[in-house]
A and B are shown apart, each in its own frame.
Chain A
Amino acid sequence: MTDLTAFRAQTHAWLEANCPPVMRTWMPEDEQVAGGKRAEYVRPEQKIWLDRMAAKGWTAPTWPKKYGGGGLSGDEALILEEEMQDLGCRIPLRGMGLSMLGPTLLEYGTEEQRQTHIPKIVTGEIRWCQGYSEPGSGSDLASLSTRAVLQGEHYLVNGHKIWTSNAHLSDWIFCLVRTDPTVKKHDGISFLLIDMDDPGVRPRPIKLISGKSVFCETFFENVQVPASHLVGQLNKGWTIAKRLLEHERKGIGGIGARQAAKFEIPPETVAKMHVGEVDGKIAEPILRDHIAAYSMDAQAFQLTRRRAAEEAESGAPPGPLSAMFKYYATELNKRRYEMLLEGEGFQGLGWEGEGFSDDELRFTREWLRSKANSIEGGTSEIQLNIIAKRVLGLPD
């Protein structure tokens, strides 16, 4: 226990000394750092902060040191997270390399693949994106038809992916491809790593309802991929795909829990500001009731995440709780934005320009962005199917 206390003190002191003051302020969406060759930094401190954290491996705190990670235990990583939250430190690096591919390579990658790719994920040198969905394969992901044909030392890849987040800003893409079209759909899929520098890979941004273009369509035309870029066994990609989806859902499931972070503005504050208060209460009683209902569900959900963590720590076998996290967190996050906009009234309706504060305009865009939460990474309906099948044992 004393080791952890010492670790906490050292961590606090290090963060205090190394985290630039502007990196301890609320982080607007356009200042999130995702790395990669095309990375652009709004402020020089973003890069300084990233490099300092990456040098300690603390962009990936629990990954092994030999691949550039922090080598921290779960308890130590939690302390780091708490101390960062306490000081208001920004997360130095985010992305699909950290949240999805890294853990997958650690589990399924060859030693060569790990040594090639993981250190560059930790430092933010390479930005990754995800080639999963296709125009004809959304919820029915396993029906995907992007083809990879082995020709000597290379796979020849042809196909069309969609909802590839930030593909136009990424350097590499991890893809699900069909390597055997003659067997049951789940049994002919492989997991391939593809360098996007190949001229046959063409990402095209898609404009979304929020006005932003975080998603792309990505076309593959006669792309040659070295056979050594296959992760796991040929035609066994579906197992890896599902495992990676668990990492993705865990990430998306964290949305609701993060709402209590230091700089977030809670719906009740927004409502008080816009509709006023009577005796300290939000002046509009029905809105107040809706906000309380939302906040109570959010707290009940946070307690559930904590309970799952306590159960795991006590050595109990993994329970069925995690199956509900993605579903519940994303539905909560959507409700949160509905509450924010409802509280703002007319001020929540701005798209751009004068008459609205930066926060107000941001909330409008984020409200629209939040609608994707319950679609991406498996829709809420798919999550409910999974709970019904795996947890409740209901028949197909």
Chain B
Amino acid sequence: MALILSEDAIMVRDTALDFFRERSPITALRKLRDDNDPDGFSRSLWRQMAELGWTGFLVAEDQGGSGFGVTGLGQVMEAAGRTLAATPLLSTGLLGASLLDLAGSAEQKDEHLPPLVAGERLFALALEETSRHAPYRIATTAVADGTSYRLSGNKRFVLDGHVADVLIVAARTSGAVGDRDGITLFLVPADAPGVSRTRTIMVDSRNAAIIRLDNTPATVLGRIGGGADVLDVVLDRARACLAAEMLGSSAEAFDRTLQYLKDRKQFGVQIGSFQALKHRAAQMFCEIEVTRSSVLAALSALDEQANDAAALASLAKAKANDTIFLCGNEGVQIHGGIGMTDEHEIGFFMKRARVAQATFGDAAFHRDRYAGLMGY
């Protein structure tokens, strides 16, 4: 496990930082929100990201990817977190690419991965069914229908679900709700019969949807009943990379707050000279740094498929959750009245924090999981 980046990864990070600052600053997210943009992201930005190769980091070379790995993708995510860029990188570049790469048949890979890498086809994982992250609480049914299946059930909080071309659905082929065994993954074209999609407008202005499946025809992705084996690995990648994105957002919110502490004057002095605020700034610094170490460790362990990769992914997501909560809330508080205005950008970070915290497990979920993995 390496806790410092390779030169290649540093190059990717620097490229991505410049890219998002230049082409997708927070004003871009604001515009998507204010225009009620039907896609909720920029298709041209996405094509540029594909051209830079970021969609292919988790795809093998023979499918048009580079196999550069999770650590590299984490650098792009962290940079995207700096500007709160709304892109399908998590849903398509990570979840779609990983699920197809790890579970897909040769034909499925040939069919889907080249257009995914080219930025021409979008994917969404339809997993959650309850009010919080619970990957095994799958009630959606899958009934055999000749060589294919028919799915029925309700999915919620499907990231980029309203724009995806293909849905990857977790459904139950056996067992009871909550069982790890008996979950099967399916590919469903978004325009398949019986699919209805409702876009949900989220507090962070990012994209998610409610998806209803009513006797929808679907083809199996991976092993029947063994979906959790693939999901666990892929969700850990998503947790670690989302933690990287949250680290970027935390660090940006902190940098802006630190600058405000130096700029804002009250009682005739910079407010950053007040010890009550200095200490809170110093504590944020510490939390960001230990979060960074956890994220780097998780990304690296996932690339190496290390035994402790799952525990480290939970560590990274739990720490990122706590840290983005801290930096988002302190950011608004320290900015004072101006932080409450829509015109100021600091509030965007706190809104994004809330959604990111709930995505793929809140801190309590990951503490529980970590304790279980550690044998207590």
A residues with a Cβ closer than 8 A to B are: 268, 271-272, 277, 280-282, 288-289, 291-293, 295-297, 299-301, 303-304, 306-307, 310-311, 314, 316, 320-321, 324, 327-328, 381, 383-385, 387-389, 391-396
Contacts and interface: CB of A to CB of B under 8 A. Distances in A.
Contacts of B318: 296
A282 to B, nearest CB: 5
Contacts of B376: 268, 271-272, 277, 280-282, 288, 291-292
Classify the secondary structure of A's interface with B.
helix
By CB atoms of chain A within 10 A, which of B272, B286, B319 has the most? B286
Contacts of A395: 262, 269-270, 272-273
Given A328-B286, A394-B261, A394-B273, A306 B3 contact: yes
A277 B372 CA distance: 12
Contact of A296 (B270, B275, B370): B370
Contact of B374 (A268, A293, A327): A268
Interface in B318-376: 318-319, 364, 367-368, 370-372, 374-376
B281 A388 contact: yes
A87 to B, nearest CB: 24
Contact of B285 (A281, A306, A307, A391): A391
B105 interface: no
A304 B289 contact: yes
B113 to A, nearest CB: 34
A395 B3 CA distance: 32
Top 5 nearest A-B pairs (CB, nearest first) are: A388-B278, A307-B3, A303-B293, A387-B282, A268-B376
B315 interface: yes
Give the interface SS of chain B, mostly helix, strand, loop or mixed: helix
Interface in B253-276: 258, 261-262, 269-270, 272-273, 275
Contacts of B286: 324, 327-328, 387
A320 to B, nearest CB: 8
Given A311-B4, A381-B279, A384-B279, A392 B258 contact: yes
B2 interface: yes
Given A272-B376, A310-B2, A328-B286, A304 B371 contact: no
Contacts of B371: 268, 281-282, 288-289, 291-292, 295
Given A303-B290, A395-B272, A296 B319 contact: yes
Contact of A304 (B261, B270, B282, B290): B290
Most chain-A CB neighbours within 10 Å: which of B279, B283, B290, B364?
A: B290
15 contacts: A268-B374, A277-B376, A281-B372, A288-B371, A289-B371, A291-B371, A300-B293, A303-B3, A327-B286, A384-B278, A385-B279, A387-B285, A394-B281, A395-B262, A395-B273
Given A282-B371, A296-B367, A303-B290, 8 more contacts: A268-B376, A281-B376, A289-B367, A304-B292, A306-B3, A385-B282, A394-B262, A395-B269
A306 B293 CA distance: 9
Given A296-B370, A310-B4, A289 B273 contact: no
B289 A384 contact: no
B207 interface: no
B75 to A, nearest CB: 15
A296 B365 CA distance: 13
Nearest to A311: B4
Contacts of A293: 367
B154 interface: no
Nearest to B376: A268
Nearest to A389: B278
Contact of A300 (B279, B281, B315): B315
A56 B296 CA distance: 39
Interface string B2-14: 1110000000000
A318 B353 CA distance: 31
A296 B368 CA distance: 11
